Amino acid sequence: MEALSTLAQLIASGLLTGLVFALVAVGLTLIYGVMDVVNFAHGEFLMLAMYATFGLALLGLGPLVGLPLVVIALLLFGIVVYRLFIRRLLAGPPEATVFGTFGLLVLLQGLAQALFSSDFLTIANRPLQGVVRAGPIALEQATIVEGLGALVLTAVLFAFVEYTETGRAMRAVAEDRVAATLMGIDVQGVNAAAFGIGSACVGAAGALLMLSYPVYPTAGAQFALTAFVVVALGGFGSIHGALLGALIVGMLEVLGGFYLAPELKMVPVYVAYLAIVLLRPQGLLGRR
Amino acid sequence: MRGHLIALAAIAAVVVVAAFALHDAVVLDLLFTLLLYAVLGQSWNWISGYAGNVSFGHAIFFACGAYASALCVTHGLSPWLAFPAGALAAALLALLAGFPTLALRGHYFSIATIAVAALVDAFVRNVPGLGGASGFELPIASGWAALQFPQKGPYVLLALALFVAVQAATLALERSRLGYYLRALRANHAAAASVGIGERRWKLIAFVWCGVMAAGAGVLYAQYTLFVDPPSTLSLAVSIDIALIGVVGGIGTLWGPAAGALVYVALAKGVALEIGGAGKGYDLVIYGAIICAIAALRPHGIVGTVVDAMRRRRGALAAPAAAIAACVVVVSLPAPLRAAGDEPIDVALAARAIADRDAECRSDGGRLWGVSLCGPLAFVDPATRAVVANGASSALRTSAREGVFTGTLPGDVAAATGVATIGGERWALVAWPLPVDPVARRVAVMRASWHRVQGEIGLAAQPAENAQLDTADGRYWLEMEWRAFARAVVVPADRRAGLVGDALSFRAMRLQRFPESARSENAALLNEGLAEDTGIELTTVASDRAIRVVEALARGRERASVARTFADASGPAYGALLDAAMPGWRRHVTGRTELAALLAEAYHVRPSPAQALARASAYDDGSLRFSEAQRALHPSENAASKPAAPKAASPEAAARSSATAAPRTALPTPAPGPGSAVPTAAPLPFPTVPASVALPPSAFRSPSPSPSPSASPKP
Amino acid sequence: MFVRRLGLALAFVLASFAPAAPTGAADAPEVVIGSILPLTGASAQTGAGLRTAQQLAADLVNGHVSYPLPMAGKSGLPRLGHARIRIVFADSQGKPDQARAAAEQLITQDHAVALIGAYISSTTATASQVAERYGVPFLNPDSSAPSLTARGLHWFFRTTPNDATFAENFYQFFADLKKTKHVDVKKIAVVGEDGLFGTGASDAEESIGKKLGYDIVARIAYPATTTEVNAEVQRVKAAAPDVVMMASYLPDSLLYMRGFKDQGVQPKAIMAQDAGFIDPGFIKAEGKDAEGVFTREVFSLDIKHRNHAVPLIDQLFRQRFGGKPLDGNTARDFMGVLVLADAIDRAGSTKPDAIRGALQKTNIPGDLTLMPWKSIHFDASGQNDGGVGIIEQVQDGKYETVWPFDVAVKPVVWPMPAWKR
């Protein structure tokens, strides 16, 4: 009986953990889908969003209240970074985007350390610190909110891509860039929008994560690493794929940690990733 | 072809000569690192450059060699065996990892390499016998058999051998069938497949060779550093470094990795030199910015750019050649790892402080003490011993800058506030950073200037410890004395005498309890007290003097311990009061002067402990006694024994609020002397001084030294 | 051919690697000590503090003001004609190979007579190996991996207690509690991150506990950078320990505390090995939930009644380091310089053999140091066998020293208060 309730707890935690990964990953996959760029500085955008949320909290705005502001800030930041930097990378050889975004990673981490120091910063008096209990299962309110945020974000993004004009333009560019240009779509504008919206998603993720985590210069790195695996597993460019991949990764990590060993909890994740891309190189729900 | 071979031979010749002729360990270490990185970069180049599969997990092959070496040595085998063993392990790993992943496109492959590297890391950490998280330390040995050498020369030769081999192999690759197939696959894998070029097969072959080369570098690394553990050989950071060398130099070119290694080492060194150890991450910022710049502006890397330029115009060679030359110059600079400081002393601020001090002491002109306080003054940063002085000095090795002189403090002088004889001259030294508050800053600098001449005045510096002032009784009567002084400096002249009498009576009461301390208290007053007083006197306009004195008293109140610093509060009060009643008193001060007696004489009062008891209730309704008793019980918590008093519009309100704040405790009840009534607190005409002298913190900016653990250190 | 030109240019330039000019000769007689610290990289902030502490100690040795500390205020090294000590700092960048290069540079170029460093255990390992090869004494004040003194080196001396000692302290604490409070600890869960720090601490805790007959009901290692600890917490819960010993950094320590609270894991005590648990962010983030948590520490300002130099040095340090107080790392590094100065002075010479001999004879009573140690005395392996840690407990929002009982300022609260829902 104990074993069953433990299992139930682990499954619930695993799903929630997966949703938190999805929260971080969804912006990444959008950017890739539209412009074929894997933003290796994704974790650092997350870190900046977390610092921004912390800054707003110092002014008295809690993470939930500050969320829309952080989203807008990251949207603008993403557009600026695209126009000033990513666009130049796209004009070069394919490896340029890889190393350009990696350079951005190092630069942003260094800036964070220089400006904010390496101290771990947590928001004082965070809301939603309680626990929700259902039978033998206990889940943190903050994590539930983060999970809900992931679902909302996925739904919103999906609706955006499906039903809005900009979204449709993005899909067109993703499918065939040349044809999209011929049809009069402003590819640069679409790219900028995609990068901005992807960053905005990360902004939402950062704001929500501040409910549970401290921020420090390398806070985004581990989330980002898992996000890359999630996105690759689910298929680059597929929003549903990111969600599915995240849930799988979350379950594997938590269940693997308990039934295998905590020090090996990432092993099933990586093995599963390699197995899936061996059998299906474009990821679970990826196209091309 | 011949060109490449000649270049290779030339480099080899130069390095061989350097290995034998140079004995500078630092330069040889740099050469070794350069060659090793070039080998690693080239091995990465095969799969990521020529074949087009960008790998972020290349460290696993490097680790194969390093761990093979560590395992051989710890099991008593010759480290030379590590070369074939590591190569074999790397080859097997390449086959195992490459088979599923090499058919993946672009980003999928890159992330797969990260996954594989993470798996290898988990494997090494958890499988017993592989060293776990702490890794291996190789025992020290010597000689070719043990593949370890006390000098660096042989290591450089070995690295050179590896480099030459790898470059030659790459040269051969470019002209071989494998090379052609790889380039075809990279350019258009579908087309290549359609002509029967098996992608997996040829890429696997390249991958295996990659692994073997990197493993060779790993063995050398282990035999050089003598330390192998997961973070230094298997982490993502190592893989990224290897990839960076390839990209910066130029993917898919023969000399790209060598150029990239040069830039990488120059960058790392240059950044460490310039940025130093402020702990702020500036080195990362520079590094990242440079990578971004290269990616955005020169994505083909250095060699790629050079080749492009060659194809267009020979003249365009100038810029990249200059860049390479600059890198090499930086690399060959001496002292690569010495931590350089950033500017420790803000020269502009120091110059202002010096100018202020000089103006003030010139306007004094020696009037106050009979001796001019102008003279050699220097600010010194204790951490770096950097000095900013107001005059040139060969002992300080000064050079002129922005109107002042920067230099370095010689090693035999303490880098702290005080007086020092440097190069035959007496210098007033003030430790940097100076107080932020400009008032406090000017006082501090003037104080130091006074200390410089106090010997000429006849007041020898003697440190005095007055521990009795930290006892409950001692501190209580001291604070009463201060309260009386605070009132005395602000009331009109005709009312002062009584208050001065009270203050000195409180002092007398204290000395009755601690008779032996009279001398040490006086010594402190003559030393630190007069210093602080002079500092205030010469840097304040007359109308502000009273406020400064009250500020000084307030600061004294806030301190947790006053045994060493009470004179900083009392001195200015004595000075101000003496100035009001006995101008020119300073000319009569000698080492034997008793300042309190002088003050009593100036105001014609005869203080006594009895008067102290009689007058106590006018200054304390019991709350001070209580809070001092509290302080004695919990010294660390009651740094400021009074919570911030509300801004009292009138003294009565303040007295009332402090009365309700603390319950009454037994006062030393004044024994009603014959005919003396217990006076009540008379309302003062100046509302700036409430009865409790707990001045609202906002009125004065004198920050108390409270620790804030999360504040970052100022550079 | 351009390539030929490039090759020749490279050859010319490589040949221009001139031997470094000798550094400026010192004017006054001085003794150079080389210090290897992580001045850039991830630990740069700590490195900056350590540098300040070491320089402060050197200034005190060269200065005239005496403190109840070895060698402070004697205007240099009396037996060497009042020669001043000068510390030359080199950056390890937090990497073992760079530390090696730094050590070599300090020995060969700066002619350091002794080395001190290097905080991060892996960098200390390589730097001290260089010292061993060159025959230069290496003093390590701040690395706690037990393996460092298990290498059989002859020139390596370590003043700080290592992880094994700290684990022993936990068990001594339990034994003392048994005597005074009749508290009986039986089942222990050991949790640690999977890097060098966590593994070393957990290994020591487990092996010593087993030797003393405790029941180690769980041994959990986890990746330090993990973002969730659900499985780990469930494992601890299933083991139902009396005490949980933790070796974690701050982000993971917060995850564990929340996990324990939410999942109803209520041990009688949580004993932490420093690191994340003493980060100021820990108590700030946890608030009331941090009450009752124990940590081993190496130093506390509370021990000022043992040596009244403690608050004085703390004050001096704060003036130099932006108001930050003295802590375990900086206090140990400060003492390290004094220990070296003491040995060099007693040796009466700058010959390495003499200094090593003097180090071997070091015997400084504990209350002449800033540390809660019994003494500074090196055993045959170079480890200070007089070192001891203290145990602090969060009470009313701050860490108070509770053990050893003769330096405690507050009584032990046992068991830790229940999680407040």
- Does one domain contain both C240 and C370? no
Taking each continuous run of H as one helix and of E as one strand, the counts in chain C are: 12, 14
CB contact under 8 A, A281 and B292: no
Which residue would you say has higher pLDDT here, B54 or B661?
B54
Cα-trace Rg, chain B: 38
Q: What per-residue confidence (pLDDT) applies to B270?
A: 67
- Does one domain contain both B552 and B633? yes
- Does one domain contain both B519 and B429? no
Closest residue on chain C to B222 (Cα) = C97
Of the candidates B349, B338, B347, B348, the one whose C-alpha atom is nearest the C-alpha of residue B275 is B338
B189 occurs within a structural domain: yes
Residue B304 pLDDT greater than 50, yes or no: yes
Q: What per-residue confidence (pLDDT) applies to B236?
A: 86
Token pair listed for B321: 């050649």
Residue B15 pLDDT greater than 80, yes or no: yes
C18 occurs within a structural domain: no
pLDDT (average), residues B363-381:
86
Residue B670 pLDDT greater than 50, yes or no: no
Q: What per-residue confidence (pLDDT) applies to B326?
A: 59
Q: Which residues span the domain enclosing B601?
A: 467-699
C115 occurs within a structural domain: yes
Q: What per-residue confidence (pLDDT) applies to B274?
A: 59
DSSP secondary structure string for all residues of B331-358: HTSS-SSBPPPP--S-HHHHHHHHHHHH
Task: Give the contacts of A155 (CB within 8 A, at least 6 positions apart).
Answer: none
- Does one domain contain both B601 and B511? yes
Residue A138 pLDDT greater than 70, yes or no: yes
Residue A103 pLDDT greater than 80, yes or no: yes
Residue B551 pLDDT greater than 60, yes or no: yes
- Does one domain contain both B517 and B445? no
Distance, first Cα to last Cα, chain B: 53
Helix or strand holding residue B178 (H, E) = helix B177-187
Q: Label the pairing between strands C294-297 and C390-395.
A: antiparallel
Question: Chain C: nearest CA to A205, how far in angstroms?
Answer: 14
In sequence order, the β-bridge partners of residue C391 are C296, C403
Say which of A13, A213, A258 has its CB closest to residue C235: A258
Say which of B255, B383, B414 has its CB closest to residue C64: B414
Question: Chain A: nearest CA to C27, how far in angstroms?
Answer: 37
Q: What's the pLDDT band for B369 if we cut at 50, 70, 90?
A: confident
- Does one domain contain both C36 and C135? yes
Token pair listed for B652: 């009565």
Q: What per-residue confidence (pLDDT) applies to B323?
A: 56
Q: What's the pLDDT band for C7 if we cut at 50, 70, 90?
A: very low
Which residue would you say has higher pLDDT here, B633 or A253?
A253
DSSP secondary structure string for all residues of C223-289: -TT-S--HHHHHHHHHH--SEEEEE--HHHHHHHHHHHHHTT---SEEEE-SGGGGSHHHHHHHGGG
Least confident of B361-375, B474-488, C232-246: B361-375
Token pair listed for C202: 């957990």
Which residue would you say has higher pLDDT here, C205 or B273?
C205
Q: Label the pairing between strands A131-134 and A137-140.
A: antiparallel
pLDDT (average), residues B189-205:
78
Do residues C230 and C256 touch, judged by C-beta distance below 8 A? no
Structure-token match 């794929």, residue found:
A241
Residue B547's Cβ-count burial label (10 Å; 0-12, 13-18, 19+) is middle
Q: Among the ranges A96-110, A258-272, B370-384, which has the highest mean pLDDT value? A: A258-272
CB contact under 8 A, A114 and B54: no
Cα-trace Rg, chain C: 23
Least confident of A104-108, B455-459, C225-229, C268-272: B455-459
- Does one domain contain both B434 and B492? no
* Angle between helical axes of B301-312 and B318-331 (0-180°, round to 10): 150
Q: Which residues in chain C touch residue A9, judged by CB atoms under 8 angstroms apart?
A: 230, 234, 263
Token pair listed for B217: 């570098």
d(CA C256, CA A218): 20
Give how many domains chain B has, as a whole number.
Answer: 3
Q: What per-residue confidence (pLDDT) applies to B260?
A: 85
Of the candidates A128, A140, A138, the one whose C-alpha atom is nearest the C-alpha of residue C264 is A138
Q: Is the peptide bond preceding residue C280 cis, with omega within 30 degrees of 0? A: no
Q: What per-residue confidence (pLDDT) applies to A70?
A: 96
Q: What per-residue confidence (pLDDT) applies to B540?
A: 82
- Does one domain contain both B631 and B518? yes
C280 occurs within a structural domain: yes
Other C-beta atoms closer than 10 Å to the C-beta of B551 total 22
- Does one domain contain both C168 and C282? yes
What is the number of CB-based contacts under 8 A between chain A and chain B? 144
d(CA B161, CA B167): 10
Do residues A110 and B287 touch, judged by C-beta distance below 8 A? yes
Question: Chain A: nearest CA to C229, how far in angstroms?
Answer: 8
Say which of B111, B126, B290 has its CB closest to residue A229: B111
Question: For the segment B458-477, what is each residue's pLDDT rounded down to a tens digit?
Answer: 887 777 778 888 888 888 88
Token pair listed for B87: 């190569």
Is the Cβ of A146 closer than 8 Å to some Cβ of chain C?
A: no
Q: Which residues in chain B touch residue C2, judged by CB atoms under 8 angstroms apart?
A: 3, 306, 310, 314, 317
Is the Cβ of A273 closer than 8 Å to some Cβ of chain B?
A: yes
- Does one domain contain both B488 and B449? no
Do residues C346 and C339 touch, judged by C-beta distance below 8 A? no
Residue C154 pLDDT greater than 90, yes or no: yes
pLDDT (average), residues B697-710:
30
DSSP letter (8 states) at residue B607: -
- Does one domain contain both C283 and C179? yes
Which residue would you say has higher pLDDT here, B198 or C282?
C282
CATH number at residue C368: 3.40.50.2300
Question: For the segment B151-166, what is each residue's pLDDT rounded down to a tens digit?
Answer: 888 999 999 999 999 9
Which residue would you say has higher pLDDT here, B280 or B521?
B521
- Does one domain contain both B387 and B474? no
In sequence order, the β-bridge partners of residue A139 are A132
Q: What per-residue confidence (pLDDT) applies to B331?
A: 53
In sequence order, the β-bridge partners of residue B377 are B428
pLDDT (average), residues C367-388:
93
- Does one domain contain both C169 and C157? no
- Does one domain contain both B507 and B550? yes
Least confident of A201-205, B262-266, C345-349: B262-266
Domain edge (last residue) among B429, B457, B485: B457
Question: Chain B: nearest CA to C7, how far in angstroms?
Answer: 4
- Does one domain contain both B442 and B493? no
Q: What per-residue confidence (pLDDT) applies to C18?
A: 35
Q: What's the pLDDT band for B689 if we cut at 50, 70, 90?
A: very low
Q: What's the pLDDT band for C15 if we cut at 50, 70, 90?
A: very low
* Angle between helical axes of B609-619 and B472-490 (0-180°, round to 10): 70
Share of chain A above pLDDT 70, in %: 99
Which residue would you say has higher pLDDT here, B648 or C1?
C1
- Does one domain contain both C109 and C198? no
Q: How would you write B237-285 as a 3-class SS string?
A: HHHHHHHHHHHHHCCCCCCHHHHHHHHHHHHHHHHHHHHCCCCCCHHHH
- Does one domain contain both C309 and C286? no
B263 occurs within a structural domain: no
d(CA B495, CA B489): 10
Q: What per-residue confidence (pLDDT) applies to C115?
A: 97
Residues, chain B:
715
Q: What per-residue confidence (pLDDT) applies to A179?
A: 82
C10 occurs within a structural domain: no
C-alpha to C-alpha distances, B325 to B9, B17, B172, C16, C281, nearest whole angstrom = 20, 20, 28, 11, 47
Which residue would you say has higher pLDDT here, A75 or C304?
A75
Token pair listed for A20: 């938190």
Q: Which residues span the domain enclosing C43?
A: 30-161+304-376
DSSP letter (8 states) at residue B51: S
Of the candidates C267, C238, C254, the one whose C-alpha atom is nearest the C-alpha of residue C416 is C267
- Mapped onto helix, strand or coil, the DSSP state of residue C84 is strand
Question: For the segment B257-277, what is each residue's pLDDT rounded down to a tens digit?
Answer: 998 898 888 777 666 655 554
pLDDT (average), residues C399-413:
90
B44 occurs within a structural domain: yes
Q: Label the pairing between strands C215-222 and C187-193.
A: parallel
Enumerate residues 75 to 134 of chain B having a beta carbon within 8 A of any beta carbon in chain A: 100-101, 103-108, 110-112, 114-116, 118-119, 122, 125-126
Q: What's the pLDDT band for A66 if we cut at 50, 70, 90?
A: very high
B255 occurs within a structural domain: no
d(CA C214, CA C212): 6
The complex's ipTM works out to 0.89
Token pair listed for A166: 């900009």
Q: Across all residues in chain A, what is the average pLDDT?
A: 89
- Does one domain contain both C336 and C394? no
- Does one domain contain both C142 and C94? yes
Q: What per-residue confidence (pLDDT) applies to A258?
A: 94
- Does one domain contain both B389 and B473? no
Q: Label the pairing between strands C269-272 and C243-247.
A: parallel
Q: What per-residue confidence (pLDDT) applies to A209?
A: 94
C409 occurs within a structural domain: no
Do residues B19 and B158 touch, judged by C-beta distance below 8 A? no
Question: For the segment B114-129, what is each residue's pLDDT rounded down to a tens digit?
Answer: 999 999 999 999 999 9
Question: For the segment B204-225, what is each residue's pLDDT rounded down to a tens digit?
Answer: 999 999 999 999 999 999 999 9
CB contact under 8 A, C222 and A263: yes
- Does one domain contain both C237 and C275? yes
Domain edge (last residue) among B235, B269, B287: B235
Say which of A119, A217, A228 has its CB closest to residue B710: A119
pLDDT (average), residues C81-91:
91
Q: What per-residue confidence (pLDDT) applies to A237?
A: 81
B405 occurs within a structural domain: yes
What would you measure as the largest C-alpha separation in chain C, in angstroms?
87
B281 occurs within a structural domain: no
Least confident of A36-40, A258-262, B327-331: B327-331
C9 occurs within a structural domain: no
Q: Which residues in chain B touch residue A47, judged by CB atoms under 8 angstroms apart?
A: none
Residue C127 pLDDT greater than 50, yes or no: yes
B389 occurs within a structural domain: yes
Say which of A119, A122, A262 has its CB closest to residue C232: A262
Question: For the segment B389-441, what is each residue's pLDDT rounded down to a tens digit?
Answer: 888 888 888 877 777 888 888 878 888 888 888 888 888 999 888 887 777 88
Token pair listed for B424: 């035959």
CB contact under 8 A, C10 and B26: no
List the Cα angle B163/B169/B173 in 5-degree steps.
140
- Does one domain contain both B376 and B478? no
Q: What per-residue confidence (pLDDT) applies to B683?
A: 33
Residue B316 pLDDT greater than 60, yes or no: no
In sequence order, the β-bridge partners of residue C32 are C86
Give how many domains chain C has, as a whole number.
Answer: 2
Which residue would you say has higher pLDDT here, B74 or B331?
B74
Of the candidates B266, B335, B152, B25, the one whose C-alpha atom is nearest the C-alpha of residue C89 is B335
Closest residue on chain A to B117 (Cα) = A270
Q: Across all residues in chain B, what is the average pLDDT?
A: 78
Least confident of A15-29, B85-99, B178-192, C58-72: B178-192
B291 occurs within a structural domain: no
